[in-house]
């Protein structure tokens, strides 16, 4: 996918080793924000690395992926100029464990993929990003 930002669209990049999770969120975002988001999905972190730059409005990264830990991916994205306020880390680990791995300010949020309360918080973040 192109890393060139389309006029007026928010650039959302999803990096998760589960293609079905990528598809789920890409389809959800296309339905919820049909005229606001351009979604790129990558099921292998190394495919996404060359696409990471400061033009991303929201980066959603899985914590555990084969070949690269999500923590290292987030570090790389920040080194490439992406603001921590544009990065969300997702995982099936508990919110407490996620907060131990990422301190406040290192990302906008760490979200447990399976907790309904966490998903509600994630939707609020998405809505906020899409309104910016």
pLDDT average, residue stretch 104-116 = 83
Tens digits of residue pLDDT in 91-103:
887 777 777 787 7
pLDDT score of 7:
57
Asked whether the beta carbons of 42 and 48 are under 8 A apart, the reply is yes
Q: % helix / strand / coil in the chain, to the nearest 5?
A: 45, 25, 35
Give the bridge partners for 59, in sequence order: 13, 87
Threshold 0.85, pTM exceeds = yes
Domains and CATH numbers, the chain: 10-131 (3.40.50.2300)
Cβ within 8 Å of residue 27, ≥6 positions away:
none
């Amino acid at each position: 996918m192109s890393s060139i930002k389309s006029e007026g669209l928010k650039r959302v990049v999803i990096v998760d080793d589960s293609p079905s999770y990528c598809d789920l969120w890409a389809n959800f975002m296309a339905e919820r924000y049909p005229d606001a988001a351009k979604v790129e999905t990558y099921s292998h972190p190394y495919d996404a690395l060359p696409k990471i730059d400061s033009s991303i409005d929201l980066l959603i990264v899985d914590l555990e992926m084969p070949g690269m830990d999500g923590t290292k991916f987030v570090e790389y994205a920040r080194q490439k100029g992406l603001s921590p306020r544009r990065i969300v880390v997702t995982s099936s680990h508990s919110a407490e464990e996620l907060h131990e791995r990422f301190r406040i300010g290192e990302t906008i949020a760490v979200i447990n993929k399976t907790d309904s309360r966490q998903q509600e918080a994630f939707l609020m973040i998405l809505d906020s990003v899409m309104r910016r």
